[in-house]
Amino acid sequence: MNSKLAQFYFSTVCAGLEGGGTIYLRFFGQYIEKFPVRCIDFTNPADKYRHDRIVALVSEMLGLQKDRFEAETSFDSEKKHTLDRRIAAVDVEIDHLVYDLYDLTEEEIKIVEGAGG
């Protein structure tokens, strides 16, 4: 759910509220219940691989975020910068696995990526 694809979907279907120059999405049940959750077929090796890889990347991301917080609070800007780069790389890898999971075409990926700014 925490991917560019989900962000694109919700920014397209959810109503928005503007406040202080920022647009906030309103997540009513009618929007969330229609989110197309892709079920994993664990008998399919490709699905199982994507699932296992996403789980591993999310676990890594949680550790990276914790380390980044510690680097920020200890004012270690070099470590924070290194962690920021790894966090961005993990984010991109997760997004691409999600695109693959939903069988997005290159054109659809460009639309989703372009919507993210």
Higher-scoring residue by pLDDT: 35, 100: 100
Residues 33 and 46 grouped into a single domain: no
> Mean pLDDT, to the nearest integer, of 81-103?
95
pLDDT grade for 68, boundaries at 50, 70 and 90: very high
Residues 53 and 97 grouped into a single domain: yes
Report pTM.
Answer: 0.77
Residue 115 has pLDDT above 90, yes or no: no
For the chain, the domain total comes to 2
Compute the distance between CA of residue 15 and CA of residue 27 in angstroms, rounded to an integer: 8
Residues 53 and 92 grouped into a single domain: yes
Residues 76 and 28 grouped into a single domain: no
Compute the distance between CA of residue 111 and CA of residue 4 in angstroms, rounded to an integer: 11
Which tokens sit at 17? 């509220």
Whats the size of the chain, residue-wise? 117
Find out whether 37 and 9 touch, Cβ atoms under 8 Å.
no
Q: Where in the sequence is the domain holding 31, given as residue range(s)?
A: 1-38+107-117
The pLDDT value given to residue 116: 55
Residues 55 and 97 grouped into a single domain: yes
Residues 45 and 96 grouped into a single domain: yes
**How far lies 5's CA from each of 21, 89, 111, in Å?**
24, 16, 10
Residues 83 and 93 grouped into a single domain: yes
| CB atoms near residue 83 (< 10 Å) | 21
pLDDT grade for 1, boundaries at 50, 70 and 90: low
Which tokens sit at 88? 């961005």
Find out whether 27 and 14 touch, Cβ atoms under 8 Å.
yes
Q: Which residues pair with 16 in a beta bridge?
A: 25
Q: Which residues pair with 15 in a beta bridge?
A: 26
The pLDDT value given to residue 114: 87
Q: What digits encode the pLDDT tens for the residues 6-64?
A: 888 888 887 777 777 777 777 777 777 888 888 999 999 999 999 999 999 999 999 99
